[in-house]
Structure 1
Amino acid sequence: MWTENTCFGLVLVWIICLTDQTQGQQKNLVSQGEDCTQIKTVSPDATSGVYVIQPAGVKSPFKVYCEMLADGGWTVFQQRTGPQVRFDRGWNKYKDGFGDLQNDHWLGLRHVFVLTKKRSTLRVDLWDFDGGTSFAEYSDFRLGTESEAYRLNVGAYRGNAGDALRGEYAGIDQNGFGFSTSDKDNDGCSPCIFGDIAFNQCALEMSGGWWFSRCGSANLNGDWHSAGNNIGWSSDLRWRTWKGPAPYSAKASRMMIKSV
């Protein structure tokens, strides 16, 4: 005879088994290199895909997607191609990561932090709805510690998408600011005034987690918009130095790291 206690016990056993299985899978991961750059250097014929890495000083290996290009192996930490994965998440999700590594995902701030302990280059790829693409690269990319809200640090810019992280106009440089989410505000607004509109939290107004500075001119983690609904105030995947004059929401974006 089934009772409430019997059902509870079965559910508890299922949870314990699932937890043990997940922990076992994590323990069985075998590192293939410190990062995607090292993997590509050791194995020049390596192709793009999911790999297991273990950066120096990290106790447990973890999976990443490596984009293996002619100039080396890049560790992808953000990818957007559509609305299938919701990026309007809280601090813990952005810290630990979410999504599908082979599709749309955010790798996790704690993983990006350890990857950028090495001298690294950041690459941002953008795609529009007309088949065009552009990129922005930054030298000396690194993040601060969690107590520093994973503060953004980038060096020299090169590319053809424009330097949106430093801003389309003075006063909105996002370099040097901590990461903000709807439940953890680290932006420069108290409030920010845009015309007759006052914003206290960029993450609430712009959606998604990002390194906001007076909201800034870059945010690739906002809401995704389809063609025809992506111009103007609904430009939530924005890189304001790229398209214009009206704000433009990208069709797709990708952010990657290569160690130097």
Structure 2
Amino acid sequence: MKSLLFISLIFEMTFFCLPSSLPCEGELCPKVISMPLMDNMKASLKADIDVSQINRYLKAYIQQEIKKDVRTIIKDLVEKKLNNMKVEMSSRAEEKEMGKVCTDSVECQDNLDCINGRCSCNRSTYWNGIRCDQKLPSECEDISSDKDGIYLVYPKGKMTSRKISVYCIMSGNKKWTVIQKRTDGSMDFYRTWSEYSNGFGRVDEDHWLGNENIYRLSQDGTHELSIVLVDWEGNLMEANYSKFSVDSEEDNYSLSVSGYSGNAGDGMDYHNSKSFYTKDRDNKNGCAVSRHGGWWYDDCYQANLNGMYNGTINESGKYTGLVWFEWKRDYSLKTTLMMIRRKE
């Protein structure tokens, strides 16, 4: 566009400012073209225009622009090649150092830390098969904002990871990823294995984040679990666990939970090491069907936070409701919240 404007400007300047006589020699001699014109009375006219000066301007301008573009292209190619060489050399050095026995991070390459006696990618990066690459936020703990809300995360922080939406609760210097929420019974939790695996509900409302997502999140570092319970009188209790993880689907999303603290009573110890069950993949005791939920059942529970939302505290909800036996026995709770956080 700039070139066209420049050419147009030259043409206009030459047409209106062309001297009546020009000294010329060779290709500098005037080259005259005849142009048919029409006046406003539609009378035929003819104009002779000398284009030799236009040609000189155009030739000089085009040569200048070509030289400029070539210099820029060459410079960019050289810089790109040098950067690629630096990255390749750094990657080879990291690959050579990766997994080397160490006692301190100073013994490892700059981008590596000494973790569990081996040179490894530091917490903010991951090994992409060639080098340590910058991690994306893998959960709420990696989000820079201090405001509660919905965020996109990439479990394990890899670009190749399937991104998911999560609800984050920013509590002081701790940033929690919500994996379960029950508040009003608007979402049915009596679901199939596939539905519990994929997750269901809106993350800012009643929902289950999904066993596959919980598994991928909990395998990235050491996690803690916090459970908030509210009864129909507005009383609030907490059960916190210093270690929490869920195994893969091949291991039936079995639960690992320990390190209880809080005031609600340890309702999860009974479920530690148990497999997850649903109405279409129930255990031998038929707990998922009889207790109307999806959970880490055995015979059958001490907690049943994915049970039926009864909306009442009367006997009709006994055994099937949102139960935390250590606190309220078979009383069906009003609100439950489960959230996890990476500690290290």
TM-based fold match above 0.5: yes
**CA distance in 1: counterparts of 2:320 and 2:331, whole angstroms:** 5
**2:342 paired with 1:254:** no
Which of 278, 282, 295 is equivalent to 1:210? 295
Shift of 1:216: 1.7
After TM superposition, list the pairs within 5 Å mapping 1:8-157 onto structure 2.
Answer: 33-39=137-143, 42-43=144-145, 46-56=146-156, 57=158, 59-117=161-219, 118-157=221-260
**CA distance in 2: counterparts of 1:55 and 1:231, whole angstroms:** 41
**CA distance in 2: counterparts of 1:119 and 1:52, whole angstroms:** 21
Of all paired residues, the percent bearing the same amino acid is 37
Residue type of the alignment partner of 1:38: D
**CA distance in 2: counterparts of 1:235 and 1:127, whole angstroms:** 17
SS in 2 for 1:241: helix
Shift of 1:38: 1.5
Distance 1:49 1:228, change over 3 A: same
Q: Deviations over 1:61-101 (max 9, x none)?
A: 11101111114110001000122100000000000000111
After TM superposition, list the pairs within 5 Å mapping 1:195-206 onto structure 2.
Answer: 200-206=285-291
Listed as ranges, the gaps of 5+ residues in structure 2 are 1-134
**CA distance in 1: counterparts of 2:243 and 2:139, whole angstroms:** 16
1:22 matched residue in structure 2: none
Given that 1:225 and 1:234 are in contact with CA atoms closer than 8 Å, whether structure 2 keeps it comes out as no
1:159 matched residue in structure 2: 262
**CA distance in 1: counterparts of 2:266 and 2:316, whole angstroms:** 20
SS in 2 for 1:155: strand
After TM superposition, list the pairs within 5 Å mapping 1:213-228 onto structure 2.
Answer: 213-228=298-313
SS in 2 for 1:114: helix
**CA distance in 2: counterparts of 1:140 and 1:83, whole angstroms:** 29
Shift of 1:228: 3.9
Alignment root-mean-square deviation, CA: 1.8
Considering only CA atoms, is the larger Rg found in Structure 1 or Structure 2? 2
Q: Deviations over 1:123-156 (max 9, x none)?
A: 1110111111001011220011101000000121
Q: Give the length in aligned residue pairs.
A: 206
Shift of 1:162: 0.5
The structure richer in helix per residue is 2
Q: Deviations over 1:18-64 (max 9, x none)?
A: xxxxxxxxxxxxx971110121xx34xx2111000012256221110
Distance 1:204 1:219, change over 3 A: same
**CA distance in 1: counterparts of 2:204 and 2:178, whole angstroms:** 10
Q: Deviations over 1:230-255 (max 9, x none)?
A: 676255100100125xx211101010
Which TM-score applies when normalising by structure 1? 0.75
SS in 2 for 1:242: helix
Moved over 6 A (4+): none
Given that 2:228 and 2:338 are in contact with CA atoms closer than 8 Å, whether structure 1 keeps it comes out as yes
Shift of 1:165: 1.4
**CA distance in 2: counterparts of 1:140 and 1:160, whole angstroms:** 17
Q: Deviations over 1:164-211 (max 9, x none)?
A: 112xxxxxx2100110001112x4xx4xxxxxxxxx310000011000
Q: Between the two structures, name the one with larger relative contact order (CA 8 Å, sep ≥ 6).
A: 1
Which TM-score applies when normalising by structure 2? 0.57
